[in-house]
Every structure is written in structure tokens, then in C-alpha cells.
Amino acid sequence: MTTNTLDELTDQFINYLVVEKGLSRNTVAAYSKDLILYVESLRENGISDIADADMTLVLKHLIDLRDAGLGPRSRARHLVTLRGFYRFLVHEKILETNPAQVVDMPKAGRKLPDILKIEEVARLLEAPHASKPLGMRDAAMLELLYAAGLRVSELIKVGIANINLEACFVLVLGKGSKERVVPIGQVARKKIDAYLGSGRPVLLKGRPSPYLFVTRSAVPMTRQGFWKLLKQYALRAGISHKITPHTIRHSFATHLLERGADLRSVQVMLGHVDISTTQIYTHVAQERLKAVHTQYHPRG
């Protein structure tokens, strides 16, 4: 537990930049401005001791800056400031680790997809008419996409053998043929169960298929086919702005983080495997993931 206040630590860092690093007045002013915003964010989240600020709060701060209209370059500068601040605290033995170091740098020139509000997601997921086989399939697909934060390429590849409705898990084949197990909530379980019982058999008409989601021709759903369905249901749900399957995936992660889930569990569920930033997340137990999903997912 540290004994320095947040303001004292900020002053120590700024003094270090001036005296030891010899940075210009404008550069120091920019660092100071960034840190003031971060300290305000910590206090708004009930943090008074820097040791209690983890990666989740760093990421949440960057998300808040994005939502306030800051572009990728400005957010990247903020992250550089936070990395330098935490690096200083580690060097001074005030902290043992740098929680900002494992947060990805915002990419300039690549706009993040819009985030749907929870109520918009709810309208979207209820848009299919689930009284008919195709509607049952579409309802189950949309629900699973949001329940597990899947990529569209992962969604269409889910096989019958990959779903465990009793344990509420789905085995996902991600990028680079990496497998991961992701929990799903009770709402997704019920919709998939309804589709398996009354929708999928009608679509298959006795024809075999290892894939969970199939068309009337008993072939797997395609990426293009699902994109068209998503656009159709977004309009039916009254969502006027453009959304993509990745919008749902990003909403999944953001909603979990905003509701208090830890960043490690969310990154495991998303299947991020970059060795430099997420290797430490690959050993989280499945039961821990299921508990996090149940507690924090809006439809868990």
C-alpha cells in the first residue's frame, strides 16, 4: 500500500520530467494535463491509492476519452503518458508492475466500430421472428455472437460438437486455428436449444451437417449471408447507424468492462493471443470465466 497521494505522485513525476529528463515546457504541460485527467478518472472510480488502479481502469479511461471525442493520436499520447508515469513509479519502487504496459496502443487511421448501447443490443437480439425455423436460427446466431463475443468467421464455423448447453460453453476455433472455450449465458442457451429442437431439423430435412448454423440448402451460413441478416435486423430494431458483426463483438467486450469485469478474463474470451500483451491471460480457469460472464454480461 502506498502512502503518497495521487497528487503527490503526479507532482513527483512532473518534477522528474523537468529536473532529470529536461523536457520542454510544452511537453511537460502536455504530460501534466494528461495525468490530471487520469487522476480525475481514478477518483471518479473511487480510487485514492495508485496501487488499486489496474489495467481495467487504464483501458476504461482510454474508452472514456474515445467516447469524449478524442482521436487515436490523442489517446495514444495519453497512453504514452500513463506508461511513462507507471514506469517511473516502478523505478521508484512505489509499484511492482506497470498496468499500462499491456494495454494496446490506439491505432491511428483505424476507426473503432461504434458501440451499441445495451438497450440497442436487446432490441437487435429480439428482432428475429423466432416462431419460424429461419427466425429461430437467426435469433440463436445473434444471441451467440453477443453472448460469446465471436468474430463472424468463428460464428459460422461453430459445429454441433462445439456447443455444450448443459455447461453453457462454446468451443471456438479462432485465428491461427487457436481453440478457446467461452461461456454463454442462459438466454443464449435457451435460444440455441430452441433452434436445435425445432428449427435446425426443419432446415436440414434429414440431411447431415456438422455445422450448428445452416441454410435451407443444409450448407453452413456464409459471412456475406450473415452480414445481410445483421443489416436487416438492425433496421428492424430501429438502429439507423451502420453496424457490423465486429460492432457486436466490441460491444460485448465494452459492456463487460463497463459493468466491472476484469480485463484478463475479457481478453481470454475474445481470444487475443499476442504474446507480448496477453500471454498472462491464457491460464485463467474456465470456471472463473463462467463466473465473470454470469456476473457481468448483460444477458448472462
* Of 249, 255, 290, 297, catalytic: 249
CA distance 255 to 269: 13
Beta carbons of 100 and 56 less than 8 angstroms apart = no
* Of 151, 180, 189, 299, catalytic: 151
| 151 in catalytic set | yes
* Of 281, 290, 293, 296, catalytic: 281
CA distance 162 to 211: 9
Q: Which residue type occupies 150?
A: L
| 137 in catalytic set | no
* Of 117, 242, 246, 259, catalytic: 246
C-alpha cell at 294: 454470469
| 175 in catalytic set | yes
| 293 in catalytic set | no
Q: Return all residues near 17 (Cβ < 8 A) that are at least 6 apart.
A: 23, 27, 28, 31
**Ordered DSSP codes for 170-233:** EEEE-GGG-EEEEE--HHHHHHHHHIIIIIHHHHHTT---SBSSB-TTSSBPPHHHHHHHHHHH
93 three-class SS: coil
* Of 43, 73, 132, 175, catalytic: 175
Q: Any idea which residues carry the catalytic annotation?
A: 151, 175, 246, 249, 272, 281
